[in-house]
Amino acid sequence: MKIAVLPGDGIGPEIVAQAVNVLQRLAQDGLKVEMEQAPIGGAGYDAAGDPLPESTLALAKASDAVLLGAVGGPQYDTLPRDKRPERGLLRIRKEMNLFANLRPALLYPELASASTLRPEVVAGLDLMIVRELTGDVYFGQPRGIEVRGGERVGFNTMLYAESEVRRVAHVAFGIAMKRGKKLCSVEKANVLECSELWKEVMIEVAKGYPEVALSHMYVDNAAMQLVRNPKQFDVIVTGNLFGDILSDEASMLTGSIGMLASASLDANNKGLYEPIHGSAPDIAGKNVANPLATILSVAMMLRYTLNQEAVAQRIERAVKKVLVQGLRTADIYTDGTQKVSCSEMGDAVVAAL
């Protein structure tokens, strides 16, 4: 199995290095993996003048799975829009047709006190957000900034074809079938035609999954319900923009965005795996970042693309073990626990494996 390793920017290289150590440890036990690194984001721009160099995309397409760190940094913010690091990430998602983004929000009981919400609100939380990733206002045309009537206007197009809604709906229903059989579709159908169509297609697809209880919620209400009573949700399916926002919100229910992994899958379960947090330029190079989200992304890779459920669980147990041991990076540190660096955390997971 070939894995394209794209560390990216900021803390990306530090956290990816720990995930690579985990893969290498598993290789000692017989997991057949071959890894090759390539630059993306600002690193891609620095190396080849392009946030998604052609050779990086070719490597990603030729691999079974992609492991990505994070992209972005203040030094790239003034580049022309199509050279910015984020564009590299958006392009690789689109080019590889990774339309289904799975973002689990799981609260480890050991971290309940790290959440800003009361423990009884979040204890036992286990929800999955399925975010559509290659459509919506992120990619809709036309878009731009132009002069109209003597002033500048900025515009984007929120657009979904029914086929795009249908395929992500099938992924979400399939996941709901394997979990609690509850699916909540989040949109803004009281205002947006795009959401009206989204909702209609969800209802159509639901007919093929009679065991799944489908509900509908407007995104503003969903944002509120996520902090009021997050445990009411099992699986949430939503569009690209709403999913971007709600998945950041859901991550904080669990105490730290530094704990959450993600998978972005195409129609054949080929995928790109990345932590949901960003490149955190403020702490880059200091060896204090939390590598667990990236390590847990490797677990998702083994589960969804490489079909190695047992090995995925082995990684998840190792992560759980280091938390039980009381090891914490700065972002999840609380009184009475032991603060460790990024590499110490990675080493501890390897030792636990």
Contact positions toward ligand IPM, by CB under 6 A?
86, 89-90, 244
214 binds, options ligand IPM, Mg ion, none, Cβ within 5 to 8 A by partner type: none
Q: How far is the CB of 277 from Mg ion (least distance, A)?
A: 9
Nearer to Mg ion, 255 or 275 (CB): 275
| Ramachandran angles phi, psi of 136, nearest 5° | 75, -165
Segment 39-68, which members bind Mg ion (CB under 5 A)? none
Q: Which stretch binds Mg ion (CB under 5 A): 97-105, 132-140, 242-250, 307-315?
A: 242-250
Look up residue 166 and give its DSSP letter: H
Residue 280 in tokens:
């955190």
- Catalytic member of 46, 77, 82, 220: 220
Q: Does 244 bind Mg ion (CB under 5 A)?
A: yes
Residue with Cβ nearer Mg ion (139 or 333): 139
- Cβ distance to ligand IPM smaller for residue 86 or 196: 86
CB of 247 to Mg ion, least distance (A): 7
Total number of residues binding Mg ion (CB under 5 A)?
Answer: 1
What, of Mg ion, ligand IPM, none, does residue 89 touch, CB below 5 to 8 Å by kind? ligand IPM
d(CA 165, CA 155): 23
Residue 159: CB atoms within 10 A of its CB come to 16
136 contributes a contact to Mg ion by CB under 5 A: no
Could you say which DSSP state residue 82 is in?
Answer: G
* 138: annotated active-site residue: yes
Which residue among the candidates 45, 76, 138, 160 is catalytic per the annotation?
138
Minimum distance, C-beta of residue 25 to ligand IPM, in the bound complex (Å): 27
Smaller CB separation from ligand IPM, 64 or 86 = 86
Q: Which is nearer to Mg ion, 136 or 244 (CB)?
A: 244
29 a catalytic residue? no
Q: Catalytic residue at 9? A: no
Q: Is the peptide bond before 142 cis (omega within 30 degrees of 0)?
A: yes
- Could you tell me where the DSSP H helices lie in 5-53? 12-28, 42-48
CA distances to 158, 233, 267, 327 from 204, in Å:
21, 21, 20, 47
> Could you tell which of Mg ion, ligand IPM, none binds residue 98, using a CB distance below 5 to 8 A set by kind?
none
188 is annotated as an active-site residue: yes
* Distance separating alpha carbons of residues 325 and 124, to the nearest angstrom: 19
- Residue number of the CB closest to ligand IPM reads 86
Q: How far is CA 313 from CA 33, 34, 241, 293, in A?
A: 17, 21, 31, 15
Of 50, 244, 270, 304, which is the active-site residue?
244
Q: Are strands 65-70 and 2-8 parallel, antiparallel or unpaired?
A: parallel
**DSSP label at residue 63:** S
Catalytic site residue from 248, 320, 333, 339: 248
Which residues have C-beta within 8 Å of that of residue 194, sequence separation ≥ 6?
A: 136, 158, 159, 160, 239
Distance of CA 208 to the CA centre of its chain: 27
- Active-site residue numbers? 138, 188, 220, 244, 248
